Amino acid sequence: MGVLSEELKNQIRDNFPKYPNKRAVVLPALHLVHDAMREVSTGAIVEIAELLELHPSEVHDTMSFYNFFKDEKHTLGKHRVWVCRSISCMLRGGEEVLEQVCNKFHIHPGQTSADGKVTLEFAECLGACEGAPCILVDDECHMDMDVESVSALIEKL
Amino acid sequence: MAKFEPVLFARINKPDSTSLKSYMADGGYARIKDILSMAPADVTNIVKDAGLRGRGGAGFPCGLKWTFLPKDHPGPIYLCINADESEPGTFNNRILMEKDPHQLIEGIMIACHAIRSNSAYLYLRYEYGRSYRALDAAVKECYAAGLLGRNIKGTGFNLDIVLHRGAGAYICGEETGLIESLEGKRAWPRIKPPFPAIEGLFRKPTIVNNVETLCCVTHILYRGKEWFQSIGVPPDPNNPRDPGSYGPKLYCVSGHVNKPCCVELPLGVTARELVEEHAGGVWKGRKAKAIVPGGISMGFLCEKEFDTKLDFAGPGKVGCLGLGTAAVVVVDDQTSMVDVLFNCCRFMSHESCGQCTPCREGTAWMTKILTRIRVGQGRLEDLDLLMEVASSMGIIPGTTICGLSDGAAWPVKNAISKFRGDFEEYINSKRSTMTSAQQLMEVH
């Protein structure tokens, strides 16, 4: 029994016609697996490599460059919360927003809450500086955060 | 002078601005058939003669870049759209993609025709989910309407656009880092030459252009090069190598201002005008201590430099690295430059790809030295040490492959030469003014 479902493998294969070679599908494949499984395990790397006709170490080499992808020792919680810590957010209270989220879930950046609900990370500039400080919850950016509004937001997760 | 009317941002506040229907109602794609029927070299010449310079940071002349492609190449030739906008303080491309994706797609079509490319890869930073959804919908609309795919509008021109999402790495904004990442590898920039125009994506001739640059291309073809040159700053007659700073520019203003914003203005506005007239002034009735002219890697302006013109030549005249992304970040007079510089250095250390030793080690050690200063254990010699490290890393001293390192060194050089008093005061106090939230940042 493999790690990746046939459906997931087909979603990866759907990317092949977009590129002249299969190696270019490494990032799309990692995203698909990561989204579906909340991690990219060693077993998944081996199966991605098989599909893309690469050595597993080549897939791992690429994956490990991007902090974005988590292995099986760092499985993501249900939600991923990124708090921006770059300059525009820092100047307008981004660090305090991060501290608030840490206190709320009793975790540090990089950790997942005990109930598995939230993985907290810091982000480098999210490109939403007109609404600094900002945070990204999964795929949605929330702007103009402060200690109160971020509390209300994460309360609902 | 007549009030400047936005062009790139003309549609962003309209309802339904992202749809094909609304774009076409405003005249979008109206002349695409005629443009695709022109000789590619003629399109290139119009863009070249207009004097359009790349909006991504380096300011390289766009049309000239296109002419570097080999002549009569059998293909394929690729266009990569650099939408990995991640320079701290920069968000203009995000607004363009979220609010008016068809303006960009039309620019991509025109550019691809000019460079004889039939495939475009749009490399979008992962964090831009809304941009992805807007672009994905717009590309699908174009395929359905016969504006993408085969034999577009009966012109015989074929074009496919692939949206490719990144995975959170600043270095993917460097054009050869982007190419490596697209190819499925770690985003380690390549040694140049060969430049991408000769050997780029999948080892084929490739042009990499920024989102805003391509949006400008659309308007240059519709309105003409004379229109483009009626905006902005002409070349300095005393400098034969200055290509000028023509056209509109999207300026991002953030940090300690009352109304952070992104505003479209003719190139050449001053930092002070941007802050006072467009961003509502410095917040809380304070004064500005420092202004970042174009993203943190460009360095800082100090108070006596706030009237610097933010065109391609301006920031360089006062010791900054350049115009960069024209992302202006304002720092008020209650903020210590020690904290600001630490933030810049920590960012660069986090984002250095690690390929070149001077950058990997230099950014890390500068961050460590600033950490020591911040915890109250700094020594005055640390400032000279920081300058020494900063001077030894980058393309300019010739020790690294790409310019990230120059951008990491520049805020250090500027901060210490222009705000040395802030650092000396902090060090001499022997105390740390860090808050608990700042300490939390420190350990990670």
Interstrand relation of B327-332 and B248-255 (parallel, antiparallel or unpaired)? parallel
In a domain, B8, yes or no: no
Of B300, B332, B364, which closes a domain? B332
Chain B residues in contact with A140 (beta carbon < 8 A): 129-130
Asked if the Cβ–Cβ distance from A27 to B296 is below 8 Å, we say no
- CA dist A139 and A125 (Å) reads 15
Contacts of A155 (CB under 8 A, 6+ apart): none
The yes-or-no verdict on residue B1 having pLDDT over 60 is no
Contact A65, A119 (CB under 8 A): no
Number of CB pairs < 8 Å for A and B? 163
Nearest CA in chain A to B440: A99
Mapped onto helix, strand or coil, the DSSP state of residue B118 is: coil
Asked if the Cβ–Cβ distance from B186 to A62 is below 8 Å, we say yes
Asked if the Cβ–Cβ distance from B444 to A24 is below 8 Å, we say no
Question: Which residues 180-199 of B are in CB contact (within 8 Å) with A?
Answer: 181-187
- CA dist A49 and B394 (Å) reads 36
The yes-or-no verdict on residue B444 having pLDDT over 60 is no
How far B137 CA sits from the closest chain A CA (Å)? 16
- CA dist B59 and B318 (Å) reads 18
- Residue B435 is predicted with a pLDDT of 87
In a domain, B321, yes or no: yes
ipTM of the complex: 0.97
The yes-or-no verdict on residue A53 having pLDDT over 80 is yes
Smallest Cβ–Cβ distance between B168 and the set A67, A96, A141 belongs to: A67
Task: Looking at the structure, tell me whether residues B177 and B304 fall in a common domain.
Answer: no
- CA dist A51 and A42 (Å) reads 14
**Banded model confidence at residue B438, pLDDT cuts 50, 70, 90:** confident
Of B205, B230, B255, which closes a domain? B230
- CA dist A68 and A103 (Å) reads 23
Chain B residues in contact with A95 (beta carbon < 8 A): 435, 437-438, 440-441
Residue whose tokens read 């909340």:
A38
| DSSP code per residue over B122-189 | EEE-TT-HHHHHHHHHHHHHHHHTTSSBSSGGGSS--BEEEEEE--S-GGGGSHHHHHHHHTTS--PP
The yes-or-no verdict on residue B131 having pLDDT over 60 is yes
Contacts of B243 (CB under 8 A, 6+ apart): B51, B53, B61, B235, B312
Question: Which residues 366-385 of B are in CB contact (within 8 Å) with A?
Answer: none
Residue from B9, B407, B427 nearest B215 by CA: B9
pLDDT one-digit tens code per residue, B39-85: 999 999 999 999 999 999 999 999 999 999 999 999 999 999 999 99
B441 in contact with A, Cβ within 8 Å:
yes
pLDDT one-digit tens code per residue, B234-285: 999 999 999 999 999 999 999 999 999 999 999 999 999 999 999 999 999 9
Total domains in the fold of chain B: 3
Mapped onto helix, strand or coil, the DSSP state of residue A107 is: coil
Asked if the Cβ–Cβ distance from B254 to A130 is below 8 Å, we say yes
How far B214 CA sits from the closest chain A CA (Å)? 19
- CA dist B145 and B139 (Å) reads 10
Of B186, B201, B230, which closes a domain? B230
- CA dist B157 and B37 (Å) reads 9
Task: Looking at the structure, tell me whether residues B220 and B93 fall in a common domain.
Answer: yes
Kindly state the tokens that stand for B371. 């950490």
- Residue B440 is predicted with a pLDDT of 78
Which of A88, A104, A142 to mutate to test binding with chain B, by most B CBs within 10 Å of its CB? A88
Chain A residues in contact with B186 (beta carbon < 8 A): 61-62, 64-65
Smallest Cβ–Cβ distance between B184 and the set A23, A91, A139 belongs to: A23
How far B285 CA sits from the closest chain A CA (Å)? 15
Which of B201, B254, B360 to mutate to test binding with chain A, by most A CBs within 10 Å of its CB? B254
Residue from B289, B299, B323 nearest B409 by CA: B299
In a domain, B368, yes or no: yes
Residue whose tokens read 């320079």:
B87
In a domain, B35, yes or no: yes
Interstrand relation of B248-255 and A118-123 (parallel, antiparallel or unpaired)? unpaired
- The CATH label, of 1.20.120.550, 1.10.10.1590, 1.10.150.120, 3.30.230.10, for the domain at A6-72 is 1.10.10.1590
Asked if the Cβ–Cβ distance from A88 to B435 is below 8 Å, we say no
Task: Looking at the structure, tell me whether residues B388 and B314 fall in a common domain.
Answer: no
Q: What percent of chain B has pLDDT over 90?
A: 95
Q: What value does the mean pLDDT take over residues A42-57?
A: 98
- Domain hosting B318: range is 245-332
The yes-or-no verdict on residue B441 having pLDDT over 80 is no
Residue from A74, A89, A80 nearest A124 by CA: A89
Q: Where in chain A is the domain with CATH 3.40.30.10?
A: 76-155
Kindly state the tokens that stand for B131. 């941009």
Task: Looking at the structure, tell me whether residues B381 and B312 fall in a common domain.
Answer: no
Residue whose tokens read 């960069």:
B324
B351 in contact with A, Cβ within 8 Å:
yes
In a domain, B10, yes or no: no
Contact B318, B305 (CB under 8 A): yes
Task: Looking at the structure, tell me whether residues B273 and B345 fall in a common domain.
Answer: no
Task: Looking at the structure, tell me whether residues B314 and B348 fall in a common domain.
Answer: no
Chain B residues in contact with A85 (beta carbon < 8 A): 343, 441
Contact A133, A139 (CB under 8 A): no
Asked if the Cβ–Cβ distance from B255 to A110 is below 8 Å, we say no
Task: Looking at the structure, tell me whether residues B59 and B153 fall in a common domain.
Answer: yes
Task: Looking at the structure, tell me whether residues B179 and B200 fall in a common domain.
Answer: yes
In a domain, B6, yes or no: no
In a domain, B236, yes or no: no
Q: Where in chain A is the domain with CATH 1.10.10.1590?
A: 6-72
- Residue B443 is predicted with a pLDDT of 54
pLDDT one-digit tens code per residue, B345-360: 999 999 999 999 999 9
Q: What value does the mean pLDDT take over residues B396-425?
A: 97
Nearest CA in chain A to B334: A91
pLDDT one-digit tens code per residue, A91-100: 999 999 999 9
- CA dist B260 and B205 (Å) reads 40
Contacts of A136 (CB under 8 A, 6+ apart): A80, A81, A82, A84, A123, A126, A142, B127, B129
- Residue B3 is predicted with a pLDDT of 79
Nearest CA in chain B to A70: B167
User: Residue B254 pairs with which residues in a beta bridge?
Assistant: B329
Chain A residues in contact with B252 (beta carbon < 8 A): 129-130
Query: Would residue A93 be called left, alpha or beta, if left means φ above 0 and alpha means ψ between -120 and 50 degrees?
Result: left
In a domain, B68, yes or no: yes
Q: What CATH number did the domain enclosing B72 receive?
A: 3.40.50.11540
Kindly state the tokens that stand for A149. 């509004």
Residue whose tokens read 């952070």:
B260
Task: Looking at the structure, tell me whether residues B261 and B223 fall in a common domain.
Answer: no
Task: Looking at the structure, tell me whether residues B273 and B145 fall in a common domain.
Answer: no
Q: What CATH number did the domain enclosing B280 receive?
A: 3.10.20.600
CATH class, domain A76-155, is: alpha beta
Cα of B422 vs its chain's centroid, Å: 29
DSSP conformational letter for B75: S
Task: Looking at the structure, tell me whether residues B324 and B347 fall in a common domain.
Answer: no
- Residue A1 is predicted with a pLDDT of 67
Task: Looking at the structure, tell me whether residues B216 and B283 fall in a common domain.
Answer: no
B296 in contact with A, Cβ within 8 Å:
yes
